[in-house]
Amino acid sequence: MHEADSETPTLNVAVLIVAAGRGVRAGGGIPKQYRTLVKVPVIAHTIAAFAGHPAVTEIVVVRHADDSALFASVRTLIDRPLVDVVGGATRDASVRAGLAAVADADVVLIHDAARPLVSRAVIDGVLAALADHDGAAPALPVTDALWRGDGVVTGTADRTGLWRAQTPQGFHLAAIRAAHANHPGGAADDVEVARAHGLRIAITPGDEANLKITSPEDFDRVAALLETPMDIRTGNGFDVHRFGPHPDGAGHIMLCGVAVPHPRALQGHSDADVGLHTVTDAIYGALAQGDIGTHFPPSDPQWKGAESHIFLTHAVDLAASQGFAITHADLTLICEQPKVGPHAATMRARLSGLLRIEVDRVSVKATTTERLGFTGREEGIAALATVTLVKS
């Protein structure tokens, strides 16, 4: 089974949403992909899952000829361009119509409109596998016993090597176009079409939540998953370090992992990076996991002179181990000197890397106390930070 690499390859990615079916088994009086699910149509959830992905450059929706008005209402809910084309009488024909409408992409992800809970991890797993495979698709191993029978059990089947297929199924665009052009039709999915053309398809990790809505009961299952409340945590951090002489004549202090020229040193057991210490404590606070001293006691000599990114990385890893993603960090440095402005962009970039979030989710700013107090007397630097953690 192919695991996702740590970084998704840089590709122009088109997404093809197959939505031309009638979905009569799900009930509701209209095609299942247009039925309301937690206040919006199913297909709107599905499109939104891909619209927010940074690698996706275009989205093509294959719809039924009779669904133009239904799709027009969905289009108003999506804040990015969508291409819609009319599908054919079969799934194969609909996919061919969608592939023809893709304008410019390296790879295409073909996805069922009735799978609204596809996750970023599933998408990234498929994209990563396309770096060294003709195609890739998520799946889950079959773990239940398999029987044969008709009302009564007449036999069993070996489940070894069997998988439950999911979408999106990803392919290099030219290869899957050629595969569909040469296929006689009637395939269960696009992996079958691709394999018939000799393409090598990787199996990537699927997700139990990435279920396909088929029956009326599935709406209740998906709604329950969508309505699961998020766990949002906010943590605050505060730290102070005083100035003292440079013991080694270094001529700089560390602020947010950046060496900033200054005639005096910040004092501390580690490298005394007050910025990183404050953000670290904010994360520990959001997790209710104490502070830096809890995890890295100053009484332990191994942390003497340690670089403070070690502490912050530990806090970020701890958050991830509990299922939290850091979504935002806001840091204020309080000092007369040094001037933070010329270094703020570099500090934000460094924090962005350490926190593993986009730089536009990181704020670094500075203020003074108008010459009041110990910071006003240039005796040290104080810092205040707020971070937000989300578990969904």
Q: How far, in Å, CA of 27 to CA of 220, rounded? A: 13
CA dihedral 133→54→349→374, nearest 10 degrees, is: -140
Confidence of residue 6 (pLDDT cuts 50, 70, 90): very low
Mean per-residue pLDDT, 109-121: 96
- Six-digit token string for 211: 């279920």
Mean pLDDT of 286-291: 95
DSSP tag of 24: G
Q: Which of 285, 349, 293 is nearest to 318 (CA)?
A: 285
* 296 — pLDDT class (breaks 50, 70, 90): very high
CB 90 within 8 A of CB 21: no
Q: Model confidence over 71-98: pLDDT tens digits?
A: 999 999 998 999 999 999 999 999 999 9
Residues in CB range of 134: below 8 A, 6 or more apart: 171, 172, 175, 194, 199, 200, 201
32 and 114 in contact (C-beta within 8 Å)?
yes
Averaged confidence pLDDT in the chain: 92
pLDDT per residue over 314-373, tens digit each? Answer: 999 999 999 999 999 999 999 999 999 999 999 999 999 999 999 999 999 999 999 999
Total residues belonging to the chain: 392
User: Domains in the chain, please, with CATH?
Assistant: 13-226 (3.90.550.10), 231-391 (3.30.1330.50)
**H or E element in which residue 112 lies:** strand 107-112
pLDDT tens by residue, 199-211: 999 999 999 999 9
